[in-house]
Structure 1
């Protein structure tokens, strides 16, 4: 690894909790391999401290980009001067970077990462029926990306009925007639994706009723630790192909790396 100096560029990953994230090691190594003098540092920011902590981090001149994980994806978007069209539609980001003209630009690669991870494994979503558990930042982005990728219909469920209703309303505006409310029954779905917290802890309830899974279904989870989650273990017992959170993360890696370093390289030339 290149020695750290005062010239090393800093990129941050913020979330709460933060111990489960794998991106800091992966992306820091990729930066070194590409000859970019930078690293990605994880930071545990409590939800109630986001609005006070984030502006301080954004004001540091040697911070080029900030990646964002649960539960800050909606809150961090409010601190950006500009959003990509998909991030603006969702109101949520998972990456933000400094603009040369000032302020910060936010984008959202969660859904793109999941879709790419599935596609790379031979599970393209075009023409498929997709079930998504979770209507938070990850679930919202995955739902949008699944429909953009050609999923013919999508069911969505979240115990937070207000959050669920808001996402369904957004999807209806952009993809009329293709998304509906789900109830946990995944019978007849080709692809089932858990985009919720369910699975962080061993005793968490399953996010869906696995008895409805068909053997030819694909089941994916956004959680990176533990791997596999109990959902994926149960899916494998039923003959399903599975993809865990590390596969989604792998799908995002190049997207995030390019996002973080492209602008940074121009800023430091």
Structure 2
């Protein structure tokens, strides 16, 4: 990657930021495509959030910003405009800067997850799934699964109020999907997703009790959004139960084209 005076800049903002894989993946993709663009990581302190968005509006060679933990829900209301999906969920994972400085937020985590799961042969139509978490990425995945034809969805988050809000949002948007709160039985699941940071950067914790994970049916697809380490304790437990697994980096790679297209530094997928 060689920066020039005309290089289109995109960023990824969060804290901590050292564990994210997007800069490596997307900059390699820019090189392969021969694009004069670069993705830079931004470790933003929480107290700097209020001053951050005005800087983006005036940053004229900036095309957009990928948003990661913990700012997906924090930055959503600060955007000038949100897509219908981002507004429904109150979360963004990408912000596009239009030529006039307008900041438009979208959430593409769900689309990336569906693409990655399809590579494992998973089709949500008529299936049962459980999603751990009710934050930005978990909300996007749950929403995308419901939109893609899921029959039943169980949600669980340590924040009961957040869990309840997401469940009600999904019931309203997708009345044909049976959405319930709490994960108490895994025996009939086709898909289990960890949409939380639990297990990141050497954390030995599991997002669900080990005794519950033992009940996973063999053949169930178990997915984690954590990208570092590649194999989390959660995924190791799933493999021990005979399940197929999907890593966080698979979802990251699956949505690179979608993110680049949204920010105008790549062709949007058909």
- Rounded to whole Å, the distance in 2 between the matches of 1:232 and 1:249 is 17
Q: CA deviation at 1:201?
A: 4.6
- Rounded to whole Å, the distance in 2 between the matches of 1:92 and 1:99 is 19
Q: Return the TM-score normalized by structure 1.
A: 0.92
User: Which of 214, 223, 227 is residue 220 of structure 1 equivalent to?
Assistant: 223
Whether the aligned pair in 2 keeps the contact of 1:195 and 1:221 (CA below 8 Å) is yes
Query: Superposition RMSD on alpha carbons, in Å?
Result: 1.7
Number of the residue aligned with 2:237: 234
The runs of 5 or more residues in structure 2 that have no matched partner are none
SS of structure 2 residue aligned to 1:20: coil
Number of the residue aligned with 1:267: none
Is structure 2 residue 120 aligned with structure 1 residue 121? yes
- Rounded to whole Å, the distance in 1 between the matches of 2:174 and 2:104 is 26
Q: CA deviation at 1:186?
A: 2.2
Q: CA deviation at 1:234?
A: 0.8
Whether the aligned pair in 2 keeps the contact of 1:99 and 1:263 (CA below 8 Å) is no
Is structure 2 residue 259 aligned with structure 1 residue 256? yes
Whether the aligned pair in 1 keeps the contact of 2:205 and 2:233 (CA below 8 Å) is no
- Rounded to whole Å, the distance in 2 between the matches of 1:38 and 1:201 is 29
Number of the residue aligned with 1:160: 159
Relative to structure 2, which stretch is displaced further, 93-102 or 137-146? 93-102
Number of the residue aligned with 2:188: 188
Q: CA deviation at 1:184?
A: 5.0
SS of structure 1 residue aligned to 2:255: helix
The runs of 5 or more residues in structure 1 that have no matched partner are 265-269
1:134-177 Cα offsets, whole Å, 9 max, x none, are 00000100000000111101000000111111111111111225
Change (3 A) 1:50 1:187: farther
1:175-210 Cα offsets, whole Å, 9 max, x none, are 225211023542321100000111115444311221
Whether the aligned pair in 2 keeps the contact of 1:16 and 1:44 (CA below 8 Å) is yes
Q: Return the TM-score normalized by structure 2.
A: 0.92
Relative to structure 2, which stretch is displaced further, 118-127 or 183-192? 183-192
Number of the residue aligned with 2:141: 142
Aligned residues: 263
- Rounded to whole Å, the distance in 1 between the matches of 2:99 and 2:40 is 22
